[in-house]
């Protein structure tokens, strides 16, 4: 009998930000395939005896091939058990979810998608600010800072990203942000636009660095470290 897969968004890392449904699926799972940022205390909710398989990808580190990850998911489900694919943040945001869904559909395996707290929302909350500033921010935009080659995507809408009325969140962009910022400044985005570098959001290693875009470029032009991070910029309110 074919098993069932639950794609579970684990949130940014704090186990208290898991949804009740996410905890329920972890407690009932026969196998949990987890990302690096979904490990640690979050796995404490997994059922005793469940197979725990790390399949995470981190920039600059050896990572499992996506085809291999998708095949693992199919193989576990074909054994007839309950499988959790645990993804950081919300699994639908820059999480390679679509490739894994296609693999399951082709194998005739049923699934569900359980939303998680997006790291962008958690970063603003952790810093004590709204992501959209009333009367100033007219739009929110999420963008990836690198493509499959690890470079800044060449097809970004730079005019949209330079819009001073938009709150923008850059995922996985520490290494490429200086290049992106140069393009945005050339299109009129002021160098003194507020920016926030949010590292290790909701984990014990959390660090928030508020500065201008110009100062952030200078910071990221040196040693960037290995901590997972988001970059927020635009009409960000001052924390109280």
| pLDDT tens per residue across span 58-77 | 555 556 789 999 999 999 99
Q: Return the domain boundaries, the chain.
A: 4-114, 119-233
1 is catalytic: no
Per-residue pLDDT at 56: 81
Whether the pLDDT of residue 170 is over 70: the answer is yes
129-146: buried (b, 16+ CB within 10 Å) or exposed (e) per residue? bebbbeeebeeeeebebb
User: Which of the residues 24, 57, 179, 211 is marked catalytic?
Assistant: 57
Cα gap 97→6, rounded to integer Å? 12
Instruction: Decide: 73 and 85 in contact? Cβ < 8 Å.
Output: yes
Residue 124's Cβ-count burial label (10 Å; 0-12, 13-18, 19+) is buried
- % residues pLDDT > 70 (the chain): 96
Per-residue pLDDT at 77: 97
Report how far apart, in Å, the C-alpha atoms of 84 and of each of 19, 66, 225 are.
14, 17, 31
Reported confidence tier of residue 95, pLDDT bands at 50, 70, 90: confident
Whether the pLDDT of residue 119 is over 70: the answer is yes
Cα gap 225→210, rounded to integer Å? 17
35 is catalytic: yes
174 is catalytic: no
Cα gap 171→161, rounded to integer Å? 13
Helix segments in the chain, DSSP class H: 20-28, 66-78, 97-106, 119-127, 158-161, 177-186, 213-220
Per-residue pLDDT at 36: 87
Per-residue pLDDT at 148: 84
What mean pLDDT value characterizes the chain? Answer: 93
Instruction: Decide: 57 and 64 in contact? Cβ < 8 Å.
Output: yes
Q: Among 61-70, 107-116, 206-215, which is the least confidently predicted range?
A: 61-70
User: Which of the residues 14, 35, 90, 163 is marked catalytic?
Assistant: 35
Token pair, residue 203, equals 């984990």
Cα gap 46→23, rounded to integer Å? 8
Across the range 3-12, mean pLDDT stands at 96
Q: Compare 214 and 61 and report the one with higher pLDDT.
A: 214
User: Topology of domain 119-233, per CATH?
Assistant: 3.30.950
Reported confidence tier of residue 240, pLDDT bands at 50, 70, 90: low
Q: What is the pLDDT of residues 11-63, one digit of tens each?
A: 999 999 999 999 999 999 999 999 988 888 999 999 999 999 999 865 555 56
* Same-fold call for 4-114 versus 119-233: no
Q: What is the pLDDT of residues 177-207, one digit of tens each?
A: 999 999 999 999 999 999 999 999 999 999 9
User: Topology of domain 4-114, per CATH?
Assistant: Cobalt-precorrin-4 Transmethylase; domain 1 (3.40.1010)
- Residues near 188 by Cβ (< 8 Å), separated by ≥ 6? 162, 164
| DSSP secondary structure, 17-66, as one string | GS-HHHHHHHHH-SEEEE-GGG-GGGGGGSPTT-EEEE----TTS----H
The values of phi and psi at residue 144, to 5°, are -85, 140
Reported confidence tier of residue 232, pLDDT bands at 50, 70, 90: very high
User: Which of the residues 87, 163, 172, 174 is marked catalytic?
Assistant: 172
Instruction: Decide: 142 and 95 in contact? Cβ < 8 Å.
Output: no
Reported confidence tier of residue 128, pLDDT bands at 50, 70, 90: very high
């Amino acid at each position: 009998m074919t098993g069932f897969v639950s794609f579970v968004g684990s949130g940014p890392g704090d186990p208290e930000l898991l949804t009740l449904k996410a905890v329920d699926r972890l407690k009932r799972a026969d196998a949990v395939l987890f990302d690096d940022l979904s490990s640690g205390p979050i796995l404490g909710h997994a059922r005793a005896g469940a197979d725990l398989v790390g399949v995470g990808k981190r920039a600059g580190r050896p990572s499992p091939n996506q085809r291999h990850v998708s095949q693992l998911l199919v193989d576990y489900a074909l054994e007839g058990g309950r499988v959790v694919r645990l993804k950081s943040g919300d699994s639908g945001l820059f999480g390679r979810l679509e490739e894994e869904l296609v693999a399951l559909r082709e194998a005739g395996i049923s699934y569900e998608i359980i939303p998680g707290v997006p790291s962008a929302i958690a970063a603003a909350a952790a810093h004590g600010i709204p992501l959209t500033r009333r009367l100033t921010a007219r739009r929110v935009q999420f963008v990836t800072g690198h493509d499959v080659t690890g470079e800044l995507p060449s097809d970004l809408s730079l005019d949209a990203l330079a819009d001073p009325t938009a709150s923008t969140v850059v995922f996985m962009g520490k290494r490429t942000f200086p290049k992106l910022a140069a393009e945005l400044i050339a299109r009129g985005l002021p160098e003194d636009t507020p920016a926030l570098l949010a590292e290790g959001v909701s984990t014990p290693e959390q660090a928030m660095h508020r500065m201008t875009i110009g100062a952030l470029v200078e910071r990221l032009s040196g040693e960037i470290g290995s901590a997972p991070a988001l970059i927020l910029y635009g009409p960000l309110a001052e924390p109280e």
